[in-house]
């Protein structure tokens, strides 16, 4: 199935670069500024992480950022307020990445209605596999929000059915395990890409473990975009509220690298 929003707004300027940021780390004011910086640097889509107390798919870097954001008092309502401020200045494509419990507890209907109001068109939910997504997708569809499907190195015989039912774009997980930078990515991403390409025209983005420009450039051969999370959080670990320029440079050089 084709989805014009992501095709027309994210994957329409060469290979897409998709940075991730944990909302509220170190503060929501910082997150708001960092999002605008990322857009300015050429980010095609920004993944906003809604922090969860027990993120089972995250490595230590994003776990730590989530814990700090929650300690600083970040809540879903405050995140929506922050996005509203972003929307006063920018229509940069945004998706939420979070675990299902914060959405479930907030109220699925209320959550997706709010996403619609703020022009957030996708959610990435690492603890909602293909078998469980219907409950949430039925509601999300009503508000024009896609639930982004994930394909992993262990998906094998599941890739086709996941790809067939995909909406928005497909998140290809580069490696086994949790998020976090890796020196080496050994998965045969070309093979996964080939199955997806034979099945659907939905665009793909590869994430998990991508760290360096050379890695991003190499891996981007097998997808329409690249997602980077932990490497950005590490910049914020180091520079805190003063990460603006560092983030700008990183995003700009990544976008350039995957399109050179």
Contact call for residue 52 and other proteins (CB under 8 A): yes
CA 106/CA 115 separation, integer angstroms: 12
CA 8/CA 41 separation, integer angstroms: 19
Contact call for residue 61 and other proteins (CB under 8 A): no
Q: Which 21-40 residues touch other proteins, going by CB under 8 A?
A: none
Percentage helix, strand, coil for the chain under 3-state DSSP, each rounded to 5: 50, 15, 35
In the bound state with other proteins, the residue whose beta carbon lies nearer, of 170 and 219, is 170
Instruction: Output the smallest distance, CB 106 to other proteins, in A.
Output: 7
Half-sphere exposure of residue 92, counting CA atoms within 13 Å on the CB side?
A: 28
Instruction: Output the smallest distance, CB 218 to other proteins, in A.
Output: 22
Contact 78, 28 (CB under 8 A): yes
In the bound state with other proteins, the residue whose beta carbon lies nearer, of 153 and 168, is 153
Contact call for residue 67 and other proteins (CB under 8 A): yes
Scan for tokens 């950022």, then name that residue. Answer: 65
> For 167, phi and psi rounded to 5 degrees?
-135, 150
Among 162, 170, 196, 206, the residue binding other proteins under the rule CB under 8 A is 162
Contact call for residue 54 and other proteins (CB under 8 A): yes
Contact call for residue 259 and other proteins (CB under 8 A): no
Q: C-alpha angle with apex 151: 99 to 176, nearest 5 degrees?
A: 80
Interface residues toward other proteins, by CB under 8 A:
52-54, 56-57, 59-60, 63, 67, 70, 75-77, 100-106, 126-132, 134, 150-158, 162, 173, 176-178
């Amino acid at each position: 199935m084709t989805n014009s929003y992501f095709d027309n707004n994210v994957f329409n300027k060469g290979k897409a670069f998709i940075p991730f940021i944990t909302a509220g780390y170190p503060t929501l004011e910082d997150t708001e500024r960092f999002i605008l910086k990322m857009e300015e640097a050429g980010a095609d889509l920004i993944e906003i992480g809604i922090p969860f107390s027990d993120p089972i798919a995250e490595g230590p870097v994003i776990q730590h950022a989530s814990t700090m954001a929650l300690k600083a008092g970040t809540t879903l309502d405050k995140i929506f307020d922050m996005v509203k401020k972003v929307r006063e200045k920018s229509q940069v494509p945004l998706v939420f990445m979070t675990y299902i419990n914060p959405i479930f507890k907030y109220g699925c209907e209320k959550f997706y209605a709010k996403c619609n109001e703020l022009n957030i068109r996708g959610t990435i939910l690492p603890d909602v596999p293909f078998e469980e997504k219907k409950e949430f997708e039925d509601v999300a569809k009503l508000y024009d929000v896609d639930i982004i499907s994930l394909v992993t190195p262990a998906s094998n015989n599941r890739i086709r059915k996941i790809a067939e039912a995909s909406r928005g774009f497909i998140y290809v997980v580069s490696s086994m395990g949790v998020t976090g930078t890796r020196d080496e990515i050994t998965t045969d991403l070309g093979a996964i890409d080939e199955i997806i390409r034979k099945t659907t025209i939905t665009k793909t983005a590869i994430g998990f473990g991508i760290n360096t420009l050379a890695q991003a450039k190499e891996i981007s051969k097998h997808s329409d975009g690249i997602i980077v999370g932990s490497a950005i959080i590490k910049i914020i670990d180091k520079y805190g509220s003063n990460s603006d320029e560092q983030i700008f440079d990183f995003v700009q050089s990544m976008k350039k690298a995957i399109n050179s």
